[in-house]
Every structure is written in C-alpha cells, then in structure tokens.
Structure 1
Amino acid sequence: MTSSTEFAPDDIETVEDALALLNAALDTPIAMASHIEDEEYTLIGIDDHLDTGLDVGAEFETSETFCHCVYEGPKRAEMIPDIGADERVAGLPAHENLGLEAYIGVPLYRDDEFYGTLVVSDTAPREFTDEEIQHAKTVAKLIQSVL
C-alpha cells in the first residue's frame, strides 16, 4: 500500500468479495467500505446491485453520508432501520438520490486507529436482526485484515 486509500488489486478484490458475501447473506442491494479522514469519505470497495454509478475512489463529505453517525459518535456499529424517519440522516444525498432506507454501519480499524466504515443498506425500511448485524461485524473484521 502506498497510501491510506491505495490498495493492491488483490486487496480490492478481497474487500469487494467480502462485500458481495455480505449482500448475499443479508439479501441487500448495496454494501460499501470507506476510508474517512479529515471529514472526507472515500470508497475503498463497493458491491452495488442498484447501478448507482459509484466506484472505488469516489469521495464525499462525511457529513453527507449516513456514516457520520459512526464517525462522529462512539465508533460502534450503528443501525438505522428507517432512514426517512431518522432526523440525523433523512434528506441526505444517499437517501434522496439512491433511495436507501435502511442502514448498518460498522467502524473499520487499521493499526488500532479508526479508519472508516463498512456499510450495508437496503431500499426499504428494515429492522436488521442481531445475527445480520453480527454478519456485518464479521465482514468488517475480514476487510480490516487487508487494510
């Protein structure tokens, strides 16, 4: 790795394979992994069945993403079962432009420092089960192994 967001092709493939497994396990249409630094959110992996046009390397202000709930909070897994009804995130671009309605965000760590987030979302409000949240945490650990 040459920088905090540049990875070898095999590492990107590992991240995206892990995201695909998570989407399959949770029956969700989109899962992403990010690096967050200085309020900037950069995609480091994506498994996208919504044809959003998002690619690895896309950048956003963290405050415009659901992940600000993980980044600005106590850095723990966060579930938002009904994005439209949650004042912290309703109206954000990912909600309005992508139609995402449910969210799990799990912090990613590199060398014991906060690095970014793993995200899995659905297009309908949904209360994820404890088992599904545990699946997301397990995939986060896998992704952390290549950071």
Structure 2
Amino acid sequence: MIDVAFNDFQSAAHAVLAYLHKRFGFGLWMVTRTEGEDWIVLQAEDHGYGVKAGSVFRWADSFCSEMVKGNGPRIAPDCDAVAVYAAAPIGRQVPIKAYIGVPLTKADGSLFGTLCAIDPVSQSPEIVAEQHLVELLARLLSTILHADLLLSHEIRRNERLELEAQTDPLTGLFNRRAWDQMLHREEERCVRFGHPAAAVVVDLAGLQHVNDSEGHAAGDALIVCAAQALRASVREVDILARLGGDEFGVVAVECNEAGGHALVARLRAAFAAYGVDASIGMAMRDPTWGLDAAWQRADRLMYSEKRRLRG
C-alpha cells in the first residue's frame, strides 16, 4: 500500500514512485516537468540508471513527448515493437526496452509533466492491464499538484507581506536583504515544481554624473523615476528590488524565455518613456544551476551591454 503520510506534492510523488517501483519493478520511475525544450526530473526512484532529481533532458528526445501527442502507447512492454519509441533519441542515450508514461496536468488541463518509468529489459505484456492504476495515481498526483500550487502562490503573497518592512526608503522597493531572502525562497519553489524564471539586472546610466552636476536631489529623482518605470513593467507577482545605488533586480517568477524577452522589451519602452537611460541584462534560470546563477549571469550581461553602450 502507498504510505499516506504525505502533505504536499513532493512527498506524495515520492510515495507514489516508491509504491510503483515496489509493484512493477522497473529501473527508473520519475515525476517530471516539461518546460519549453527542457524535460526536468522533479522526483526519481532510480535503480541503476544514475538519474536523480534535477536532471534535465531534451523533451523532444523523450518517449513521453510522443506519448502525450498520442503517437505511442502509455505502456509499452517492448519498446522495439513501437516505431516512435524505437526511433526516439533518448533510446540511444540510455538503454530502454520497456516504458510506462502518463501525463500530469495543471488545473486548466494543460500539460505539467509526466509520471513515467523505463527499464532496460522488456516486460510481460500483462502489465498493459495495469494502465488504469497508473493513470489513477497520475490523476491523484495532478489533484495534489493543483492544491499545492495554489498554496505556494498564497505562501508567496504572505512572504511579500512579511518582508514589506525591508524596503528601500527612497523608492519603496524591496532592499538587498529582502531580495536575498526572496531569491532563496523562489529557488526552493523552482526546484520543487520545476518552474521557469527569468532574472533581470538593471543599471542606471549617468547617475554619478547627475549627482555631481545637478546635485543629489536630482540623482534621487532619477532613481525614483527608474523605480516607477520598473513598477510599470513588471507583474505584481514578480520580485522587484533596489540592489544598490544605481542597480535594480527583477525575478520574473513562473516566466518562460519568451516572457523574459517580453519583460526586457517592456522595460526598455518604459525607460524610454520616462527618459531614463539604463543597461539591462536578462538570463533564464537553468534547472541545473538555479536562480542565483541566473542572477549572476544577468549581471554579467548587463555589464557587457554597459561597456558596449560606452563605446
């Protein structure tokens, strides 16, 4: 029986994977998230493949990508007998002779990821009769996922309220201390659910010159103007902070690469409308390295743009 002592998606997934391995065997059971071209392993019950949580593969290479399109069966006791599975690139990366896979869905019915298994040895055709059980467990996991995502969003809102005191007095944005805490908490959510996220670093051009030539009041006015442009460009759910004198940071949460580029375009348009010159760097979170690495890469890209603009 499944250990029912779980209270969130992560622990439920762990219990389901352990149960399915005990019932069916198979060298690897996984709960995965698909995001863009990435196929991210959120949980793994591994017995010989060397795959662990946080591993990332190409979604298009997987059996699961064919399964969700209806091109292959949800249970294949002999993968060599299924043309699309026999031809799938992932079969050349790891030995796969048997496959089980069913979709995990979001509340709106769109694809979140998969509950799946592979084994290097062909299995008895009798396992096809167990498809309804695996589908039932996938539906239960999807239901727990829906509730856990709603709770996660509520927790994120409460975190913002708790950190409201940690703001920059000039702009009213979160300060560096709040940024560090929120970055850490958002990374935990990304690891747990496989969320994408974009990190953006903004540096104002000419702040020191304005301070020297027009006075600090004028410099403060420029900073406040930049903060207004930033607020006008980000979503309410995004993390926005003043990191230093002329530097700002944004984490666009649950945001894919197209959304990240769209955010940069909105920022450039807003800065132009507010008459603010700024350098911008944007980097997507890589599931292997995390949000902190994305922030550091965005910072480097910002400085590269700054040097380029200086000529």
TM-score, length-scaled by structure 1: 0.78
Measured in 2, the distance between the counterparts of 1:109 and 1:27 equals 25
The more displaced of 82-91 and 63-72 is 82-91
Q: CA deviation at 1:107?
A: 0.8
Which amino acid is the alignment partner of residue 84 of structure 1?
D
Residue 116 of structure 2 corresponds to residue 110 of structure 1: no
Distance 1:86 1:64 in 2: 15
Q: Does residue 88 of structure 1 match 2:89? A: no
The yes-or-no answer on 1:142 pairing with 2:140 is yes
Aligned residues of 1:31 and 1:48 also touching (Cα < 8 A): yes
Alpha-carbon offset, residue 94 of structure 1: 4.0
Amino acid at match of 1:129: I
1:31 equivalent to 2:29? Answer yes
Residues matched between the structures, number = 137
Structure (1 or 2) with the greater strand fraction: 1
Q: State which drifts further: 27-36 or 9-18.
A: 9-18
SS of 1:121's equivalent in the other structure is strand
Quote the Cα distance in structure 2 between the aligned partners of 1:15 and 1:77: 22
What's the CA shift for 1:105?
Answer: 1.0
| Structure 1 counterpart of 2:63 | 66
Report whether the alignment pairs 1:43 with 2:41.
yes
Distance 2:94 2:120 in 1: 8
1:10: Cα distance to partner? 5.0
Q: Which amino acid aligns with 1:113?
A: S
Deviation at 1:71, TM superposition (A): 3.0
- 2:121 is aligned, of 107, 124, 143, to 124
2:45, 2:89 → 1: CA distance? 19
Given that residues 67 and 74 in structure 2 are in contact (C-alpha distance below 8 angstroms), is that contact kept between their aligned partners in structure 1?
yes
In structure 2, relative to structure 1, the CA distance for the partners of 1:144 and 1:37 (3 Å cut) is: same
CA RMSD between the two structures: 2.5
Per the alignment, in what secondary structure is the counterpart of residue 95 of structure 1? Answer: helix
Q: Deviations over 1:44-82 (max 9, x none)?
A: 1111111x22121211111211111123337x9622222
Name the CA distance, whole Å, in 2 between partners of 1:71 and 1:15.
Answer: 20
Shift of 1:13: 2.6
| CA distance in 1 between partners of 2:127 and 2:87 (Å) | 25
- Paired residue type of 2:100: I
Alpha-carbon separation, structure 2, partners of 1:15 and 1:113: 19
Within 2, Cα distance between the matches of 1:92 and 1:99?
Answer: 12
Which structure has more relative contact order (CA 8 Å, sep 6+)? It is 1
Q: Which moved more, 1:102-111 or 1:120-129?
A: 120-129
The letter for the 1-side match of 2:84 is R
For residues 33 and 51 of structure 2, the distance between their equivalents in structure 1, rounded to whole angstroms, comes to: 15
SS of aligned partner of 2:139: helix
Alpha carbons 1:102, 1:123 under 8 Å: kept: yes
The gaps in structure 2 that reach 5 residues or longer are 1-6, 146-311
Q: Unmatched 5+ residue regions in structure 1?
A: 1-8
User: Per residue, is there more helix in 1 or in 2?
Assistant: 2
Q: What amino acid sits opposite 1:53 in the alignment? A: G
Query: What letter is aligned with 2:25?
Result: D
Q: 1:109 deviation in Å?
A: 0.7
Which whole-Å CA distance do the structure 2 matches of 1:93 and 1:32 have between them? 18
Classify the secondary structure of the residue corresponding to 2:85: coil
Match of 2:52 in 1: 55
